[in-house]
A = this chain, B = another copy of it.
């Protein structure tokens, strides 16, 4: 997923419209989902101070306030301006400040300077959200039948978009809270009891000619399609994500000192940064601790390792003699062996991979595949600003499958293609081993 949280497209027919419900029920249903979505976004920031919400502690991180404003700008730009007659933008300067990356929509605040936006303040952004929420209500209540289908499809997109930013709010605030000596906890929830380590095992698949990509029965991002055929050789995926304990062994046995395990670019980074462990690990071998959204915690050795970049995931796989999966291997296994639902993320729950997540292919972490993020056969970006969501990032990134402890439930599906550049460490990313059979 693009760090700006977008990168997608809308289904031609949404599930809602396909349901055959009468229009007034469609309106009511969408409005209800919209309200719940919007409340959850602000709920995610309820524990944060104004200062927490304004800081940008590295270029990839966006302030929470920016996320709250950008998601509102998205509704304003793609729904309200085109479809609500007489709508007036809340503040014309917000287009500059809260456009993420849409070239078609003009100049914008440099990404690295999002932390400089002290004005508008939080209260002002909250007023913006209220203004947009009210207008969205009016839109849903008053739009004509003729527009409803298109509007419903755009709303599905907007919901998916804001949900992506919900995950980013958590991911980014974790970095913000991590960089000073207080190591402040985002949430005071206590860790679940550690489980015994997962038993080793393999999910085998005979490969062959199969269909891949999303089927047209609900909202999906455009990069999940088109549906297409591909041939896979026989393979197996591990039944569990690599655990902290396994990764600690890799460290103890010299993983970070052994050039031959690493991709060339990865080794250069390890050397330049003197890296010795994953990004949020604290302490030292034998007594590892981990910075989490619940503060610094003892390491749960049987939980999935997280916050690996692609280079670390690849080096670990090389060390074991196995390899990273192809994205289509993962999709196939997920479709066949897994009901496809991960532990639902809630702001009141445990916001970190837990040993219990191992029971599920989706596994509590986003899982690096060795597949570069590229268009599926037949893929074409749509025209207009929304066409910038996915296609323009198809270079230099890798696909991740699964979903993490921070991922909203609606984003947990076998066809979902998350993507990040190989050096990304601040995402909740781990791996599952694969092998040829």
* Chain A interface residues toward B at CB < 8 A: 49-57, 65, 93, 96-97, 101, 103-104, 109, 113, 115-122, 176-177, 179-182, 184, 209, 228-233, 259-260, 262-267, 310-311, 314, 326, 370-372, 374-375, 377-378, 387-388, 391-396, 422, 436
B55 touches A182 (CB 8 A): no
Among B311, B378, B436, contact of A436 (Cβ-Cβ < 8 Å):
B378
Contact, CB under 8 Å: B371 / A118: no
Q: Which residues of chain B are near A259, meaning CB under 8 Å?
A: 103-104
A-B residue pairs, 7 tightest by C-beta:
A372-B372, A103-B259, A50-B50, A51-B54, A231-B231, A51-B118, A93-B181
Residue of B nearest to A48 (CB): B118
Residue contact A264 to B55, C-beta cutoff 8 Å? no
> Per DSSP, are chain A's interface residues mostly helix, strand or loop, or mixed?
mixed
CB neighbours (8 Å) of A49 from chain B are 50, 118-119, 121
Contact of A57 among B116, B179, B422 (CB under 8 A): B116
Asked if A231 and B230 make an inter-chain contact with CB atoms under 8 angstroms apart, the answer reads yes
When distances are taken between beta carbons in the complex, the residues of chain B under 8 Å from A370 are 374-375
Tell me which of B101, B115, B179, B396 contacts A422 (CB under 8 A). Answer: B396
Of B264, B377, B387, the residue contacting A392 (CB under 8 A) is B264
New A-B contacts (9) at CB < 8 Å, excluding given A51-B119, A233-B378, A263-B395: A49-B119, A51-B122, A93-B182, A119-B177, A119-B184, A209-B209, A233-B377, A263-B392, A311-B395
Q: Is the CB of B103 within 8 A of A260?
A: yes
- With A51-B50, A119-B184 as known contacts, state yes or no: A393 contacts B233, CB within 8 Å: no
Query: When A264-B393, A396-B396 are in contact, do A176 and B118 touch as well, CB less than 8 Å?
Result: yes
Q: Report the minimal beta-carbon distance from A162 to chain B, rounded to whole angstroms.
A: 21
Integer count of this chain's copies in the complex: 4
Contact residues in B for A393 (Cβ distance below 8 Å): 263-264
Q: Which one of B181, B233, B436 contacts A229 once the chains associate, using CB atoms below 8 Å?
A: B233
Given contacts A104-B260, A113-B179, A181-B93, contact A310 B51 (CB under 8 A): no
Return A62 CB to nearest CB of chain B, in Å.
14
Q: Which residue of the partner chain B has the closest CB to A57?
A: B116
- Interface core residue of A51, A184, A314 (most chain B CB under 10 Å): A51
Determine how close the nearest CB of chain B comes to the CB of A405; give it in whole angstroms.
23
Within 8 Å CB of A267, what residues of B? Answer: 103, 392
Q: How far is the CB of A411 from chain B (nearest CB, A)?
A: 22
- Rounded to whole angstroms, the CA-CA distance of A182 and B209 in the bound complex is 58
Which residue of chain B is the closest to A321 with respect to CB atoms? B380
Q: Write the nearest CB–CB distance from A280 to chain B, whole angstroms.
A: 16
Docked-complex contact A181 and B97, CB < 8 angstroms: yes
Given the complex, which residues of B lie within 8 Å of A176, measured CB to CB?
A: 116, 118
CB-nearest residue of chain B to A231: B231
A96 close to B181 (CB less than 8 A): yes
Contact B96 A394 (CB under 8 A): no
